[in-house]
């Protein structure tokens, strides 16, 4: 437990001061966020935010990694699984950084063409999923709260596709959510907190969660990201003094997906990332309705859905807080399901 607390505390401090440093650096160098206007069908009501420093996600990734490293000072071994996960997180983060940099340089909120970006991140997702299977003893079953709970074992090739799609979808869902001050960071903080609890619970109860590889190391990783998001929110809360950018959103999304895969909570991720599912789902529905109507109708005033509620008259802070509340309910429900299953398993193991 001490390792988990160290990771969270160190990451919080590094993120808090690291984000402040980035604000000063990017403000002095003119690395501000461009905003899509009405001519690009963007949220032109956010135009006053144009020029706000971006790429603050660098502080989140660095702080989470430093916190994770610091926790290993106390006799905690570095696991192969966590190392592979970090490679995946850094790869996704670099992809986001490249996209952010192009946006800033071009002074237009269109970085890497979205189709190319989707294809690249999807291939990266499949690659990391394959690496996890080849180099670790990760379970190849589809699960909700623990390996084998659904009794569905997949062939390796099918599991790689399944896991790759989870990584890709979660990464993009968090990226879609990152549209209001603190919305993505606050909801991610709750998600990482949930995975921190689940991982530590698995570490303390190996007789039930023995199939989880290195649960304590994954719990430390989750604590590092929770602390990093907490420190970043100090500066990102409305009105934001810095945005996380794609460099942060892609890293956070991939980290959440990796935690779900390594902790055998694949389908529980749908609840833990409930707000992200809602946001990404609203985009998919909007596009479906628009194309089905011959590009004449839209279900929402604007997607993702947080912009729809803004356009109906909700102040931005109201949207953020209410979406945080929805996220909290989803995360609490996920933990309740996990604990309820644990209680049943305890009764089976110790009748």
**pLDDT, position 315:** 92
Sort strands 152-153 and 141-142 into parallel, antiparallel or unpaired. Answer: antiparallel
Residue 317: enclosing H or E segment and its boundaries?
helix 316-349
**pLDDT, position 51:** 65
**pLDDT, position 109:** 56
**pLDDT, position 40:** 47
Collect the ranges in the chain with pLDDT lower than 70: 31-51, 107-115, 349-351
Residue 278: Cβ within 10 Å count: 19
Q: Which two tokens stand for residue 81?
A: 């699984």
Full DSSP string of 210-223: TTSSSHHHHHHHHH
**pLDDT, position 223:** 97
Domain boundaries, the chain: 2-273
Contact 328, 191 (CB under 8 A): no
**pLDDT, position 107:** 65
**pLDDT, position 253:** 96
């Amino acid at each position: 437990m001490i390792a988990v607390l160290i990771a969270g505390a160190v990451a919080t401090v590094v993120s808090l001061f690291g984000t402040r440093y980035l604000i000063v650096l990017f403000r002095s160098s003119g690395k501000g966020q461009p905003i899509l206007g009405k001519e690009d069908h963007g949220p032109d009501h956010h135009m006053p935010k144009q020029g706000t420093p971006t790429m603050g996600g660098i502080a989140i990734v660095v702080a989470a990694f430093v916190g994770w490293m610091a926790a290993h000072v106390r006799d905690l071994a570095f696991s192969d699984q966590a190392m592979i996960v970090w490679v995946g997180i850094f790869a996704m983060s670099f992809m986001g950084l490249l996209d952010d940099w192009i946006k800033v340089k071009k002074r237009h909120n269109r970085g890497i063409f979205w189709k190319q970006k989707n294809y690249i991140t999807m291939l990266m997702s499949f690659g990391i999923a394959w690496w996890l299977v080849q180099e670790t003893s990760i379970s190849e079953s589809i699960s909700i709260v623990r390996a084998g709970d659904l009794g569905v074992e997949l062939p390796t090739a099918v599991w790689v596709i399944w896991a790759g799609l989870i990584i890709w979808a979660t990464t993009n869902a968090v990226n879609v959510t990152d549209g209001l001050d603190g919305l993505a960071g606050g909801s991610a903080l709750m998600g990482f907190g949930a995975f921190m609890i689940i991982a530590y619970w698995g570490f303390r109860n190996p007789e039930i969660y023995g199939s989880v590889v290195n649960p304590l190391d994954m719990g430390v990783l989750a604590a590092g990201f929770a602390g990093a998001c907490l420190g970043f929110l100090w500066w990102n809360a409305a009105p934001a003094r810095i945005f996380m950018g794609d460099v942060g959103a892609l890293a956070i999304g991939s980290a959440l997906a990796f935690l779900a895969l390594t902790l055998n909570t694949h389908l529980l991720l749908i609840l833990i990332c409930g707000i992200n599912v809602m946001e990404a789902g609203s985009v998919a529905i909007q596009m479906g309705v628009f194309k089905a109507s011959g590009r004449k109708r839209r279900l929402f005033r604007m997607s993702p859905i947080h912009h729809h509620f803004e356009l109906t008259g909700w102040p931005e802070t109201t949207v953020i807080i209410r979406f945080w509340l929805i996220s909290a309910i989803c995360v609490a429900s996920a933990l309740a399901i996990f604990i309820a299953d644990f209680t049943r398993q305890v009764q089976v193991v110790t009748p």
